[in-house]
Amino acid sequence: MQFIEKELKKGEKVQLFVNGDVACAEAAIKVGCRFFGGYPITPATEVAERMALRLPQVGGNYVQMEDEIASITAILGASWAGVKSMTATSGPGFSLMQEGIGLAAMTETPCVIVDVQRAGPSTGMPTLVGQGDVIQARHGSHGDYGMIVLSPSNTQEMYDLTIRAFNLSERFRTPVILLADEVCGHITSKVSIPESVEVISRKKPKIREDYLPFRADDDLVPKMACAGDGYRVHISGLTHDEKGYPRTTSLQIQDDLIKRLINKIWKHRDEIIEIETKYIDDARIGVFAYGSEAGSALRAVKLAREKGIKACLIRPKTLWPFDDEKITELTKDLDGLIVDELNMGQMYYDVKRCFKNAELLPSGGGALHEPAKILKKMEGI
């Protein structure tokens, strides 16, 4: 299905009936993505297929790479050439991308990585849902670095959070992961596409500015000159100084660099973190859930309320960074809290730091929890 751009009246929206993968691709186009490098893998292939169709229509480039290692490095190169870039994959491919994601963090290269999760490990269940990549999304590459990970729960959010992922990536000069799942990627529903969206682009040095590519401004984010801008820039995954030159024996430079890579995200967490709540004002029991599983959790909360149980939903749209203070504040009046995940507890221990009596409702993946199962867990608290 080809998406035909049309001139919109002020405030008018286009309505599409598409799956989440297609919505993600359309959002990327809308926010200015003009390069996609990827390798097909279920259940993320439709993102690549849509980008292959759409990018030539808007003057962009689609390249199907030989594997996921090539895919992640291709989008880093495109970003340094000055183009907003994206790739999409699922669990096995995401594992292969981890060294490249670490390189993106170290070189402060803005790009978006879409991971449409399936049940794993290994080849696992390619066509069925899972949430087993949550810790990997935050800590998958070696070393310490800050990471932004967003979690859509439905088709509309596949669109909206893709735009947000690009804007956060450009704002903080960092890779951003859109951590979706098979249900979000494959479920088809109505998506509203607005006349215009907010578009943030990376800070550029002024002409003839005395420029150092890794000298941070007050917000801890450096300006970024790209190929063809007229500046001499050295880019290295090695520990480097503000010029980008390797300084692999300086403990002070290493310490300063790593702290800045973390703090440029952590110190702006209020700008980054989004948490949605439902029915929390009078709640005594909460369910913490994210991604498509939050839909089952919300249905269970509504069923609980019909039975007189004062239940609520706490749904992080931002998985990482994780803000203990916000979760502690949201849960302080609860008597009980269920952490509902399609894994064996990859966010559970972070939540448990904030609410010590939190209980886990785990899953090996393959299907969403039935609302009745979540309700039964609530009734047992």
The answer on pLDDT for 14 being more than 90 is: no
Buried b (16+ CB within 10 A) or exposed e, 215-231: ebeeebbbbbbbeeeeb
pLDDT tens for each residue of 70-93? 999 999 999 999 999 999 999 999
Question: What is the band of 11 on the pLDDT scale with cuts at 50, 70, 90?
Answer: low
Mean pLDDT in the chain?
95
Q: What angle do CA 218, 221, 222 make, to 5 degrees?
A: 100
List Cβ neighbours of 93 (8 Å cut-off, separation of 6 or more): 39, 41, 44, 67, 68, 71
pLDDT tens for each residue of 183-203? 999 999 999 999 899 999 999
The answer on pLDDT for 128 being more than 60 is: yes
CB 155 within 8 A of CB 18: yes
The answer on pLDDT for 28 being more than 90 is: yes
The answer on pLDDT for 273 being more than 90 is: yes
Of 210 and 254, the structure prediction assigns the larger pLDDT to 254
What pLDDT shows up at residue 70? 98
| CATH 3.40.50.970 domain range(s) in the chain | 12-272
What pLDDT shows up at residue 85? 98
The answer on pLDDT for 141 being more than 70 is: yes
Return the structure tokens found at 90.
Answer: 């699922």
What average pLDDT score do residues 32-42 get?
Answer: 98
What pLDDT shows up at residue 225? 94
Question: Which amino acid type is present at position 28?
Answer: A
pLDDT tens for each residue of 296-323? 999 999 999 999 999 999 999 999 999 9
What pLDDT shows up at residue 4? 46
Of 244, 333, 272, 295, the closest CA to residue 146 belongs to 272
What pLDDT shows up at residue 2? 46
**Which architecture characterizes domain 274-379 according to CATH?**
3-Layer(aba) Sandwich (3.40)
Task: Please tell us whether the domain made up of 12-272 is placed in CATH 3.40.50.970.
Answer: yes
DSSP 264-278: HHHTTHHHH--EEEE
What average pLDDT score do residues 334-344 get?
Answer: 98
What pLDDT shows up at residue 210? 84
Of 315, 220, 201, the closest CA to residue 262 belongs to 220
User: How much of the chain, in percent, has pLDDT values that exceed 90?
Assistant: 93
The answer on pLDDT for 6 being more than 60 is: no
What whole-number distance in Å separates Cα of residue 34 and Cα of residue 62?
8
Helices (H), the chain: 20-31, 45-54, 68-80, 91-96, 98-107, 134-139, 155-172, 182-186, 251-266, 269-272, 293-306, 324-331, 348-354, 371-379
What pLDDT shows up at residue 1? 41
The answer on pLDDT for 97 being more than 80 is: yes
CB 117 within 8 A of CB 181: yes
What average pLDDT score do residues 5-29 get?
Answer: 82
| CATH 3.40.50.920 domain range(s) in the chain | 274-379
What whole-number distance in Å separates Cα of residue 130 and Cα of residue 116?
9
What whole-number distance in Å separates Cα of residue 278 and Cα of residue 330?
11
What pLDDT shows up at residue 303? 98
The answer on pLDDT for 12 being more than 90 is: no
User: What residues form DSSP beta bridges with 1?
Assistant: none
What whole-number distance in Å separates Cα of residue 114 and Cα of residue 175?
11
How far does Cα 307 stand from its chain's mean position? 36
Greatest pairwise CA separation for the chain in angstroms: 68
What pLDDT shows up at residue 381? 87
Of 358 and 13, the structure prediction assigns the larger pLDDT to 358
What average pLDDT score do residues 85-106 get?
Answer: 98
The answer on pLDDT for 44 being more than 50 is: yes
The answer on pLDDT for 209 being more than 80 is: no
What average pLDDT score do residues 354-360 get?
Answer: 98
